[in-house]
Structure 1
Amino acid sequence: MGRPLLLSCLLVILPLGTAQAVEPIPIGLTYPRTGNYKAEGLELNRGALLAVDVINSGGGVLGRPLELLGENSASRKQAAERNIEKFAQLGVTMAFGGATSDEAIAAGKRARELGMLYFATLSYANDVTGSQGQRYLFRESNSAWMSAKVLGEYLTWHMPRRRYHYIVLDDTWGRSTESALRTATSSQDRARNGYSVIPAKGAHRADYLKALQKAAASEADMLVIVLLGDDLMRTMRLASNLGLSKKMQIIVPNLSKSIVQEAGPSVMAGVIGTEAWTWRVPEQEKSPEGQTFVDAYIAQHREYPGSSAASAYSIVRQWADAVQRSGSLDSGAVIASLENHSYRLLKDEQQWRAFDHQNVQSIYAVKVKSRNEIMRSPLKQDYFDIIHRMDGEAAAPSLDDWQQERGDNLTLQ
């Protein structure tokens, strides 16, 4: 008689327990699973999932677990806008992602209309937190200005008075980066420092080859390739076949682990660019939590994390901390908690600056190691030497710079 009684008690208790389960808090990642930047998208997803695991193992946010919702944007702004709308219908109050600046700007605007916070990841155009900046948008990644400042200082010190040639993507980020780097390297004279433009969508091998042949025919010492994703990979492979890396110093303003993997270490060897984070940074900046992130990522994926994974991880952790501090999921309360908040997570001190919502952080000039050096590392993925470092305050545009870009619109709306 005892066992049937116990069974009936369990049948009563279990449904009650299920009914009282804590509802998770959904957050939305809009990222490229397909298209030009799918490798970066994979890293974004991995970094976000790791952050959710860490937060949930520590009790969640406001006593509730996080749930990551992911939607493919294919790096297209229309798809990103639709993803934001879908997230809003599912009760999301914070979305993040993006692999292009145009995508981030469009997604951020739609998020603001829906009262949702949006954090831009791989979106480097100055416009994102400059002329197009707004109250509901924060950027974790560095801007084109920040990359240009650290590169400009390094190149001026170590490779002065050189002649430049630019190959530029015809979009917001490409134009922004070209302008910032020309200023930083005193190469504004377009007659002396020539350029070619690559279409933002639908570029073909002939486009890349024509631009590279024009660069080869110039008298430039420095070839600046302002491209990302598959555009960069294809251009770099053609440049290698043409032997341009033996004739010119190649500069890629925004480097990443994924582009070295995709193009190949032999093709990318010796290229100079910038990163906001590499897996070596926690050790250099004496960041125990950053090293814990590196170790956890390696344990899960048997490879080193890149800056894309670090950006997504940091965003989720920082938003969760802001919600905890404010005690609310309300966007206005979270914005107030984030503005001018300083923290240490994966590197040295960073700050969410109040006047433009740019994450102010140290930025690094890096150089791709030789293939032989890379192959000697345990996971054969130790791609970068850090060759120069600049503090965030020195790299980021000042309030005066920002106000000049904004014109009459001097507050975030």
Structure 2
Amino acid sequence: MKRLTACLALWAGLVACVQAAEPITLGLNYPRTGNYKEEGLAQMRGALLAIDELNAKGGVLGRPLRLSSYDSASRPEKAVKNVDKLADEGAAMLFGGASSAVAIAAGKRAQQRGLLYFGTLTYSNDTTGKDGHRYLFRECNSAWMSARVLGQYLAKTLPGKRYFYVTADYTWGTTSESSLRETTATQDTANNPGVKVPFPGARLSDYQNALTQAAASKPDVLVLVLFGDDLVRAMRIAETLGLTKSTQIVAPNLTQGIIEQAGPSLMAGVLGTEPWTWTVPEREGSEAGKAFVRNFTERNGVYPSSSAASAYSIVYQWADAATRSKSLDSETLIKALEGHSYSLLKGPQQWRAFDHQNVQTVYAVRVKPRAEVMKDGLHQDYFEIVHQLDGEQAAPSLAEWQAERRAAKQPPTLQ
């Protein structure tokens, strides 16, 4: 009893000390509104859970963490202004986003302000490719990584088929399309045509026109290189045109939030990729991942998505680097992160030194039929993992990365 009392007193004293210390501010630059708002909400929830858990353990370097957040609305110019606001507040690091254009623009401004920027959902090859720099780290996979795992699966299950691409006209969309065309050998645009739709600000008429062209082409595979609300709207039009029944629909990057918005009936059978799903910890025997799923679900009444897992992991990885290096200095943290390997919510991962890409397993997934989804207690068992690829096999090699940098007239090392 005396030992328990002493332990409780020590814990209370530690908590009091942490509460008395000046908080460390982490800045979340995320889409609270706009086409990707569902992914933004998940990021907020994941970040808050990580911060609360770390504070309960004593914070970082003896100081509590606090979150300051601003809405990017998935607009680069707004995200850049948010970087300045958060820097002026004294944020120690910045993270978030569900648009590659946002991550790239905000990351450049963060570097100018001397702050690390961690991208959550930013799949464009350019993020850690031609636009990569020392202060920018990407937690999720790249478009090329998605294309490799998806391309392998499509080549095996649907060889020699005709494709049609409907693509959001910005960096994520264009690099995702080019990567998937290469891995599926569908570069011939005469036989595998496509059309671009504006981003942001596409109208329903833009999707109607693009999908009408797709229906007229009679493809075997319809690739919708769209995300968030944009993908949901396009899927609804595709259904009215009969495309959901006549073609195999592929959406390179799927999320739990997208399925929830559209509904599993509409999305059933769609193929895509995910860097993480809530079933992965059980599949890979990750105890920390299982605890995250359990704690997040109890707290929010829903399973965590890959967007939530990314934000949660970023907070923990930044905290780990700060603890290992005993510093909040950006240059010191870069050195602590580069080449660092770890396991948190899944199998092994690594912050690769030469491009700051997080190298991890990527999964090809198919959306389950509604009847299967409804068997789960929360009706959120959306994804069947149909193929997976180790991160080192999926990610571009150093030679490929340097070739991309040279083509863009960028230095062969991060600056």
Which residue in the other structure is 1:260 paired with? 259
Aligned to 1:396: 395
Map 1:1-400 → 2, pairs under 5 A: 21-400=20-399
- Alpha-carbon displacement from aligned partner over 1:80-116 (angstroms, at most 9, x marks no partner): 1111111111111200011111110010000000100
- Give yes or no for contact 1:278–1:307 (8 Å, CA) kept in 2: yes
- Which residue type is aligned with residue 414 of structure 2? L
Match among 404, 410, 413 for residue 411 of structure 1: 413
**Deviation per CA, 1:122-181, whole angstroms, max 9, x where unpaired?**
110000000000000000011000000000001111111111000000001100000000
**Cα-to-partner distance string for 1:319-343 (whole Å, 9 max, x where unaligned):** 0000000000000110000000000
Contact 2:277 2:305 (C-alpha < 8 Å) held by counterparts: yes
How far is 1:364 from its partner? 0.1
Give the AA of the match of 1:323: A
- Whichever residue aligns with residue 97 of structure 1, its letter is G
Q: How many Å separate the matches in 2 of 1:154 and 1:201?
A: 30
Letter in 1 for 2:179: A
Which sections of structure 1, spanning at least 5 residues, go unmatched? 1-16
Deviations 1:253-300 (A, max 9, x none): 000000001011111000000000000000111100000000001101
Which stretch of the first structure deviates more once superposed, 220-229 or 204-213? Answer: 204-213
| TM-fit CA distance, 1:201 | 2.1
Displacement, 1:203? Answer: 1.1
Q: Which residue identity does 1:170 align to in structure 2?
A: D
Q: In structure 2, do the counterparts of structure 1 residues 335 and 19 end up closer, same or farther at CA, with 3 Å as the change threshold?
A: closer
Instruction: Tell me how far apart the structure 1 counterparts of residues 319 and 18 of structure 2 sit (CA, whole Å).
Output: 26
What amino acid does structure 2 have at the position aligned with 1:284? R
Count of residues in correspondence between the two structures: 397
Is the CA contact 1:93–1:115 (under 8 Å) kept in the aligned structure 2?
no
SS at match of 1:70: strand
The alignment-based identity, stated in percent, is 59
1:189-228 C-alpha deviation (Å, 9 max, x unpaired): 0000010111112211111111111111113100000001
Secondary structure in 1 matching 2:244: helix
Cα contact 1:37–1:230 (8 A) shared by 2:
yes
Distance across 1 between alignment mates of 2:117 and 2:222: 35
Report if the CA contact (8 A) 2:18-2:63 is conserved.
no
Alpha-carbon distance change, 260 to 18 in structure 1, aligned in 2, over 3 angstroms: closer
Instruction: Give 1:219's aligned amino acid.
Output: K
**Whole-Å separation in 1 of the counterparts to 2:99 and 2:315:** 19
User: Does the C-alpha gap of structure 1 residues 18 and 322 become closer, same or farther in structure 2, counting only changes over 3 Å?
Assistant: closer
Which deviates more from structure 2 when the two are superposed, residues 172-181 or residues 193-202? 193-202
In the alignment, the residues of structure 2 paired with residue 57 and residue 150 of structure 1 have an alpha-carbon distance, to the nearest angstrom, of 39
The secondary structure found in structure 1 opposite 2:74 is: coil
Q: 2:5 is matched with which residue?
A: none
1:12 aligned partner: none
**What value does the CA root-mean-square deviation take over the aligned residues?**
1.2
What amino acid sits opposite 1:108 in the alignment?
G
Assess, with a 3 A threshold, how the Cα gap between structure 1 residues 361 and 136 changes in structure 2: closer, same or farther.
same
- Structure 2: tracts of 5 or more residues without a match: 1-15
Moved over 6 A (4+): 17-20
State the alpha-carbon separation in 1 of the partners of residues 19 and 148 from structure 2: 54
Pick the structure with greater CA Rg: 1
Segment of structure 1 superposing worse, 82-91 or 250-259: 82-91
Shift of 1:19: 13
Cα separation, 2, equivalents of 1:163 and 1:244: 14
CA apart distance, 1:245 = 1.4
Partners of 1:84 and 1:100 in 2: CA distance: 15
- Matched residue SS, 1:376: coil
Contact 2:269/2:369 (<8 A) preserved:
yes
Deviation at 1:20, TM superposition (A): 9.1
SS at match of 1:308: helix
* Deviation, structure 1 residue 242: 1.7
TM-score w.r.t. the length of structure 1 is: 0.95
C-alpha distance in 1, partners of 2:279/2:118? 25
> Residue 149 of structure 2 contacts residue 389 of structure 2 at CA under 8 Å; is this kept in 1?
yes
Deviation at 1:363, TM superposition (A): 0.1
Q: Aligned AA for 1:411? A: T
The 2-side partners of 1:20 and 1:134 are apart by 35
Matched residue SS, 2:133? coil
| Structure-2 residue corresponding to 1:14 | none
Check whether the contact 2:269–2:366 (CA below 8 A) recurs between aligned residues: yes
Structure 1 residue 241: Cα displacement:
1.8
Distance 1:232 1:253 in 2: 11
The aligned amino acid for 2:225 is V
